[in-house]
Amino acid sequence: MKQIFTLLCLLVFFEISAQAQLDRAPADRPNIQGLKIAFITKQLSLNSEEAQKFWPVYYDFSDKARRIRQEEKDDEIAFEEKMLAERKKFKVEMKKILGSDDRVNKSLTLDRDFNNVIKKELEARRDQRLQKGLIKQ
């Protein structure tokens, strides 16, 4: 039973990952989107049912945030106000999916957490290349 559940979770993950890569990821970085999906799924401990409900809401929120960033790039206050309103809507929707306030609050910080992990990894790789003499500062 545990193996079937694990297999089902993997299948859902790969389907979501493939769809996300086709719909949202730039052609030169499909791997980053897959890593992000895996990171968020692990951090929130999403089961297959939650994942099916979570990802459409998450992508909708991400699209809205991207649009707000573009529309309000010259007005910081308007940007913050609109983002706050969207984050509040996202939190309400996530509460229905994730159940606990801890998981919902965590879902609001995962983009930043993922970006920090990627940043640290890129810095570590750059440092390794510097030590090997492959690049200059």
Query: What pLDDT digit, counting tens, does each position of 118-131 carry?
Result: 999 999 988 888 88
Question: Which whole number is the average pLDDT over 28-36?
Answer: 76
Q: Model pTM? A: 0.68
Range 43-70 burial, b when 16+ CB lie within 10 A, else e: ebebeeebbeebbebbeebeebbeebee
Average pLDDT value for residue range 75-94:
95
Name which of 101, 91, 30 is nearest 61 in CA terms. 91
| Mean pLDDT over each residue of the chain, to the nearest integer | 84
Parent domain of 39:
2-132
What pLDDT was estimated at residue 68? 96
Residue 51, pLDDT above cutoff 50: yes
Cα angle at 71 between 67 and 68, to 5 degrees? 40
Q: Count of domains in the chain?
A: 1
Within-domain flag for 31? yes
Assess if residue 137 is contained within a domain: no
Structural domain includes residue 86:
yes
Ranges 2-16, 31-45, 73-87: which has the least confidence: 2-16
Average pLDDT over residues 41-60: 95
94 and 107 Cβ atoms separated by less than 8 Å: yes
User: Considering only CA atoms, which of 2, 100, 87 is closest in space to residue 50?
Assistant: 100
Residue 133 pLDDT class (50, 70, 90 cuts)? confident
Residue 85 lies in a domain: yes
